[in-house]
Structure 1
Amino acid sequence: MPIEIKMPALSPTMEEGTLAKWLVKEGDVVKSGDLMAEIETDKATMEFEAVDEGTIGKIMIAEGTDNVKVGTVIATLLEEGESADTAPKADAPKADAPKAEPAPEPAKSEDTAKPASPAPKSAAPTASTAASGDRIKASPLARRIAAEQSIDLSTLTGSGPNGRIVKADLEGATAGSASAPTAQAQASAPSTAPQAAPAAAAKPAAIPDIPHEATKLSNVRKTIARRLTESKQQVPHIYLTVDVRLDALLKLRGELNAALESRGVKLSVNDLLIKALAVSLIQVPSCNVMFTPDQLISFQRADISVAVSAPSGLITPVITHADTKTLSQISTEMKDLATRARDQKLKPEEYTGGTASISNMGMFGIKNFDAVINPPQAMIMAIGAGEKRPYIVDGELGIATVMSATGSFDHRAIDGSDGAQLMQAFKALVENPLGMVA
């Protein structure tokens, strides 16, 4: 019987997505790990890999279809000896769904799929549910590997479609972890995180009779719009600004780059500011927090989300352990993350999490700005341009390179005095940068 390939959950918050592009066609032979499709999630465009081997039988959802719910059957996979003619007739209506023009049609294909695969299951199938009568559901490749390695398939938990045992499950069995659900199975399960109640739909604004071009909103842009609106509506922002002298930091950066040149590492000013913010959060732990309705979560390390402008919209890859990493490590990692962010190649774990954010618009000549907090984080640092300004140096008026930094704080979690202490610590580290590398 053909295997149902369902719309996966490719990010923790994904509930639906756009099937942007098929990388296979009906009749193609695929094996575990082959790329099958490009799927646009609420965060980025990601590649979807096959978890089993077989022949693509029927593509149920056409590429370019929007609002495809997680769990919707998008294609079928045929095993050895099967043909498209062996597919049950009940599947025929699903194949017709993508041909319809109205946007709501993908939801109908989900409704059609529900009787065959109930959504409420929250745990991976057990060995007993993976069997039909006395026959254990397993891919041909999994059966061959099991026979070669003398593995009892009845003791395994299948993570493939409908509880099928696939190659990845046997690899786990070899490592002694057959009874635990695989990470792939967990990743493909729909997110159960509570979602904020949707705001009442606003009436679309009338488009003026002016020559124009309309561009369809991507899932990423829709998510940015929703999250920033929620942040400004639900999070009480407080803004604190300090002027910071950069001369010592720029001098240290020049010396470090000369020393690191042989290793191919070139530090940016932003690399040093990421480090300064991370160390500041450790020095002022009352700002390294997250607000929940009934708890205040205090973090033991500083993971910094860094705002990167990508073609699809703003994304925030995370530098983990930024408080303990060296500047060269931060620089190398940041360059890699920024490049892959612009190419939409980040993994979900690389842009989720983070205990605070930093957004630098200094390269555009912006003097200062107030950044919007990225929930559930409780603060974000906005960095302006460094410029020559009149400044009191050693008690006398002089000229110094100065930038303005503005911290946006969630006032539910961070009091004004605590935010002021963080800004004070950040200013001190930037003006005396040896303190963050010692």
Structure 2
Amino acid sequence: MPIEIKMPALSPTMEEGTLAKWLIKAGDTVSSGDLMAEIETDKATMEFEAVDEGVISEILVAEGTDNVKVGTVIAILTQEGEAAAPKAASKAEAAPSEAKPEPTPAPVAPAPAAAAPVAVAPIATGDRIKASPLARRIAAAKSVDLATLTGTGPNGRIIKADVEAAGSGTAASAPAATSVKAAPAAPAAPEAPRSTAPVAWDDTIPHQIDKLSNMRKTIARRLTEAKSTIPHIYLTVDIRLDALLKLRGELNKALEPRGVKLSVNDLLIKALGVALIQVPKCNVTFLGDQLVTYSRADIAVAVSIPGGLITPIIKDAANKSMSAIATEMKGLAARAKDGKLQPAEYQGGTASISNMGMFGIKAFDAVINPPQGMILAVGAGEQRPYVIDGALGIATVMSVTGSFDHRAIDGADGAQLMQALKALVENPLGLLA
């Protein structure tokens, strides 16, 4: 009996994906565990394995197809002698959907629409003339009676162009309204500030246009959601790094025979994990009418990859050694850049850390990664004038900024977390205890 191979859900949140590449073709024999396709999700490109064995009789979704819904049949797997049946069935199913557009009476519809006085009837509702606020201001400045105008905007609305045409002596007539309806782009320009759609761009400048990847679409959607729905509060502290850098140098010498090298970021991951355990009010997720407080600190670490950003997770960072964090982070970062992370390696986390210090960025405000309650933005460590034991000296200092979800975390609790983090970094032996 033919088996339908469907678009898999490669993560709990996946709703659609891009079928990036087929690794098999029609007529190939596959066994359980054979790689069949590469599928691009919103986070990574993942390989899809065969579950059953048989012959690929038909491929229904071409490689490179975007927005393939989870559960969509993408191929048919059969045993010997069953190849013809699924093809006929799949084409029979496709035929009704292709036939639907044929009876559309599109050419007939414009006739009554053109004959109707479209621009006149909807101009007013009761005694109120329908006009945009900008059109009203211009009309008042030019002493133009709105009641004498024919609107060419949506539903007969009087817009800026109508008033300016009247002010310059050009009569607005029904035929003019009809011509505007045929090309709606012209009257839309004055209304552009009301829309969230991108404004027109200058295509006369040399350029290229690239299609957004699923990852970039997801980043755009989630960041818009985060900034629109989460009230961010930002708290910044300056942290002296000299003691941490000294400890890091000593640890790297001791770990050299094991091939382990600690980065400053590895130590900061550990410090944030410990600080969250010390201040559990910041290790939370806001759920509307509920607040989840975590007893473990899983730190999501922002990693830049081609086409976007991904956040692999160091689980239970507070209780892992710094060498374990460094080794794990190295492997996660490598798999992230190759697009080989598994969903369990980047989904979840109780807080995030984003380090842009390697680019020389002194300080920045990071956007919270929902449903987490906070993210730590790490700037560059640099030598600055600093008061040491009551005297002005030179110290290596970095600025770090915590972004907190103010619905769940009060300013005082966020300040406690930043204070705990500062104490751990400036007295780093506490990270070894």
Q: TM-score, normalised by structure 2?
A: 0.76
Task: Please list, as runs of the form range in 1=range in 2, the aligned pairs for 1:378-389 lying within 5 A after superposition.
Answer: 378-389=373-384
**Are the equivalent residues in 2 in contact too, given 1:65–1:98 (CA < 8 A)?**
no
**Are the equivalent residues in 2 in contact too, given 1:61–1:95 (CA < 8 A)?**
no
State the match for 1:203 in structure 2.
197
CA distance in 2, matches of 1:9, 1:39: 10
1:102-133 Cα shifts (integer Å, max 9, x gaps): xxxxxxxxxxxxxxxxxxxxxxxxxxxxxxxx
State the match for 2:140 in structure 1.
none
Higher alpha-carbon Rg: 2
- Cα distance, 1:42 vs. partner? 1.6
1:196-253 Cα shifts (integer Å, max 9, x gaps): xxxx984343231211000100000000000000000000000000000000000000
CA distance in 2, matches of 1:97, 1:25: 27
Is residue 90 from structure 1 mapped to residue 85 from structure 2 by the alignment?
no
**Are the equivalent residues in 2 in contact too, given 1:6–1:70 (CA < 8 A)?**
yes
**Are the equivalent residues in 2 in contact too, given 1:244–1:405 (CA < 8 A)?**
yes
Is residue 34 from structure 1 mapped to residue 28 from structure 2 by the alignment?
no
Is residue 60 from structure 1 mapped to residue 89 from structure 2 by the alignment?
no
Q: Which amino acid aligns with 1:424?
A: Q
Task: Please list, as runs of the form range in 1=range in 2, the aligned pairs for 1:161-240 lying within 5 A after superposition.
Answer: 202-208=196-202, 209-240=204-235
1:163-220 Cα shifts (integer Å, max 9, x gaps): xxxxxxxxxxxxxxxxxxxxxxxxxxxxxxxxxxxxx984343231211000100000
Is residue 14 from structure 1 mapped to residue 14 from structure 2 by the alignment?
yes
State the match for 1:246 in structure 2.
241
**Are the equivalent residues in 1 in contact too, given 2:244–2:426 (CA < 8 A)?**
yes
Q: Secondary structure at the match of 1:344?
A: coil
State the match for 2:392 in structure 1.
397
CA distance in 2, matches of 1:12, 1:253: 38
CA distance in 1, matches of 2:344, 2:389: 47
- Cα distance, 1:314 vs. partner? 0.5
- More off after superposition, 242-251 vs 202-211: 202-211
Is residue 71 from structure 1 mapped to residue 66 from structure 2 by the alignment?
no
Deviation >2 Å, runs of 4+? 86-90, 93-99, 200-205
Is residue 265 from structure 1 mapped to residue 260 from structure 2 by the alignment?
yes
CA distance in 1, matches of 2:93, 2:428: 62
Unmatched tracts of structure 1, length 5 or more: 100-199
Q: Which amino acid aligns with 1:270?
A: N
1:117-173 Cα shifts (integer Å, max 9, x gaps): xxxxxxxxxxxxxxxxxxxxxxxxxxxxxxxxxxxxxxxxxxxxxxxxxxxxxxxxx
CA distance in 1, matches of 2:85, 2:233: 63
Q: 1:423 to 1:22 in 2, by over 3 A?
A: same
Is residue 322 from structure 1 mapped to residue 321 from structure 2 by the alignment?
no
Q: Which amino acid aligns with 1:323?
A: A
State the aligned residue count.
Answer: 337
Q: 1:255 to 1:21 in 2, by over 3 A?
A: same
Which residue, 335, 341, 345 being the options, matches 2:336? 341
**Are the equivalent residues in 2 in contact too, given 1:2–1:82 (CA < 8 A)?**
no
CA distance in 2, matches of 1:97, 1:385: 61
CA distance in 1, matches of 2:267, 2:255: 14
Q: Secondary structure at the match of 2:349?
A: coil
CA distance in 1, matches of 2:96, 2:339: 29
State the match for 2:180 in structure 1.
none
Identity of matched residues, %: 74
- Cα distance, 1:352 vs. partner? 0.4
**Are the equivalent residues in 1 in contact too, given 2:58–2:87 (CA < 8 A)?**
no
1:312-367 Cα shifts (integer Å, max 9, x gaps): 21000000010100000000000000010011000001000100000000000000
Which residue, 363, 366, 374 being the options, matches 1:371? 366
CA distance in 2, matches of 1:97, 1:20: 28
Q: 1:11 to 1:96 in 2, by over 3 A?
A: farther
- Cα distance, 1:98 vs. partner? 13
CA distance in 2, matches of 1:37, 1:249: 46
**Are the equivalent residues in 2 in contact too, given 1:362–1:385 (CA < 8 A)?**
yes
Unmatched tracts of structure 2, length 5 or more: 99-193
State the match for 1:132 in structure 2.
none
**Are the equivalent residues in 2 in contact too, given 1:59–1:95 (CA < 8 A)?**
no
Q: Secondary structure at the match of 1:87?
A: helix
- Cα distance, 1:97 vs. partner? 11
Q: 1:411 to 1:357 in 2, by over 3 A?
A: same
**Are the equivalent residues in 2 in contact too, given 1:36–1:49 (CA < 8 A)?**
yes
- Cα distance, 1:369 vs. partner? 0.1
